[in-house]
C-alpha cells in the first residue's frame, strides 16, 4: 500500500508539470483553435536560457524571473510573426507551420547548447527524501511552484480587466472587437502567457529528467493527453487532466505495463478519450451546423 501511495504522490508531482503544459496548450487552443505542437520545444529553449543565465552567475530565482519574461516576449513575437498570417489557413498549413517551428527550435537548441544531456540545478536542494521517503524535496517544491503559477493564472483571468478582455477575445472575437478589445493584442498576450507557463514547467521538470533538446517530447504528449482528458477548451479541466495523467502514468508504469511503456499509456489515454468522450471531462461537446 505504501508503494501505491508513493506512486500516486510522485504521479501528482509529475502531473503538476503536465498540468502546466496542458494549461498552456489550452490557452492557445481556446483563443485560436490551434494545438501548439511547438509548445514543448519553446519550453526547452526557455530552460536552456535559464541554464545559461545561471552559469553566467545569476542567482537561481533571478534567472527564473528573467527567463519567464524572455519567454513571454518570445511567445508574443512568435505569434505576431509566424502564426498570425496563417490564422485562418487550412489545418494542413497550420500544422506545417507548427511542426516547422518545432524543428527550428529543436535544431537551434542542439546547435547553440549542444546535444549532450545536462544536469539542471534545483532551487529546492536536490533529491533528499522527505515525509518518510514519499516525496523528494524537489518534487515538493516543484509542485508548489506549479500550483502557485496555476493559481496566479486563475486570479489573472478571473479578477483583472485584462484577463476579462482576453477571455472575451477568445470567446467571441467579433463582439470583443466591437467592445473595444484589441483582439490581436490579446492573442499575442495569450501566446506570451502560454510560453511563460511552459517555461516554468520546463525549468521545474529539468532537474528530474535532465536537460537535452528532446527533453519535452514525452512531456508534451502527456500534456496533450491531460488537455484532452480534461477537455481541450477548459483550462480547469486541463489542469485536472494533467494531474490525472500524471497519476495514471506512474501507477500503470509501476504495476501494469512497466516503466518502459509509459508513453504508450499516454497514447492509450488520448485514443480512449477521443473515442469515448471526445469533449473530455469538463469540455463542451462540439456541435457543428451542416
| Residues of the shown chain interacting with other proteins in the complex, contacts defined by CB under 8 A | 33-35, 37, 82, 85-86, 89-93, 95-97, 99-108, 110-111, 115, 217-218, 221, 224-225, 228, 258, 260-264, 266-267, 270-271, 274-275, 278, 290
Residue 141 or 253 having the CB closest to other proteins? 253
Residue 116 or 151 having the CB closest to other proteins? 116
Residue 1 or 92 having the CB closest to other proteins? 92
CB of 282 to other proteins, least distance (A): 17
CB of 288 to other proteins, least distance (A): 9
Helix axes 2-32, 216-230, angle to 10 degrees: 80
Helix spans in 114-258 (H)? 137-159, 161-171, 173-178, 183-209, 216-230, 235-255
CA distance 283 to 70: 32
CB of 147 to other proteins, least distance (A): 27
Residue 249 and residue 262 in contact, taking contact as beta carbons nearer than 8 Å: yes
Residue 181 or 187 having the CB closest to other proteins? 187
* DSSP 8-state symbol, 130: E
CB of 100 to other proteins, least distance (A): 4
3-state secondary structure of 198: helix
Residue 81 and residue 18 in contact, taking contact as beta carbons nearer than 8 Å: no
Residue 95 or 236 having the CB closest to other proteins? 95
Sign of the torsion formed by the C-alpha atoms of 166, 172, 173 and 177: negative
3-state secondary structure of 215: coil
Amino acid at each position: 500500500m505504501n508503494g501505491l501511495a508513493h506512486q500516486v504522490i510522485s504521479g501528482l508531482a509529475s502531473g503538476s508539470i503536465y498540468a502546466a503544459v496542458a494549461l498552456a496548450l489550452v490557452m492557445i487552443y481556446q483563443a485560436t483553435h490551434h494545438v501548439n505542437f511547438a509548445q514543448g520545444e519553446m519550453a526547452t529553449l526557455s530552460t536552456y536560457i535559464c541554464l545559461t543565465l545561471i552559469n553566467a552567475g545569476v542567482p537561481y530565482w533571478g534567472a527564473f524571473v528573467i527567463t519567464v519574461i524572455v519567454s513571454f516576449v518570445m511567445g508574443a513575437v512568435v505569434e505576431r510573426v509566424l502564426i498570425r498570417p496563417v490564422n485562418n489557413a487550412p489545418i494542413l498549413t497550420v500544422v506545417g507551420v507548427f511542426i516547422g517551428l518545432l524543428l527550428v527550435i529543436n535544431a537551434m537548441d542542439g546547435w547553440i547548447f549542444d546535444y549532450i544531456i545536462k544536469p539542471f540545478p534545483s532551487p529546492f536542494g536536490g533529491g533528499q527524501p522527505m515525509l518518510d521517503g514519499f516525496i523528494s524535496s524537489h518534487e515538493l517544491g516543484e509542485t508548489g511552484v506549479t500550483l502557485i503559477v496555476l493559481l496566479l493564472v486563475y486570479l489573472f483571468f478571473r479578477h483583472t480587466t485584462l484577463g476579462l478582455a482576453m477571455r472575451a477575445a477568445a470567446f467571441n472575437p467579433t463582439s470583443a472587437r466591437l467592445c473595444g478589445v484589441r483582439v490581436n493584442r490579446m492573442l499575442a498576450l495569450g501566446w506570451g502567457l502560454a510560453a511563460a507557463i511552459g517555461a516554468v514547467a520546463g525549468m521545474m521538470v529539468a532537474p528530474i529528467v535532465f536537460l537535452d533538446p528532446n527533453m519535452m517530447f514525452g512531456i508534451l504528449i502527456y500534456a496533450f493527453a491531460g488537455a484532452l482528458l480534461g477537455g481541450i477548451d477548459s483550462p480547469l479541466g486541463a489542469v485536472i487532466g494533467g494531474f490525472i495523467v500524471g497519476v495514471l502514468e506512474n501507477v500503470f508504469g509501476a504495476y501494469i505495463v512497466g516503466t518502459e511503456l509509459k508513453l504508450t499509456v499516454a497514447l492509450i489515454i488520448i485514443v480512449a478519450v477521443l473515442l469515448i468522450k471526445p469533449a473530455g471531462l469538463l469540455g463542451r461537446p462540439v456541435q457543428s451546423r451542416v
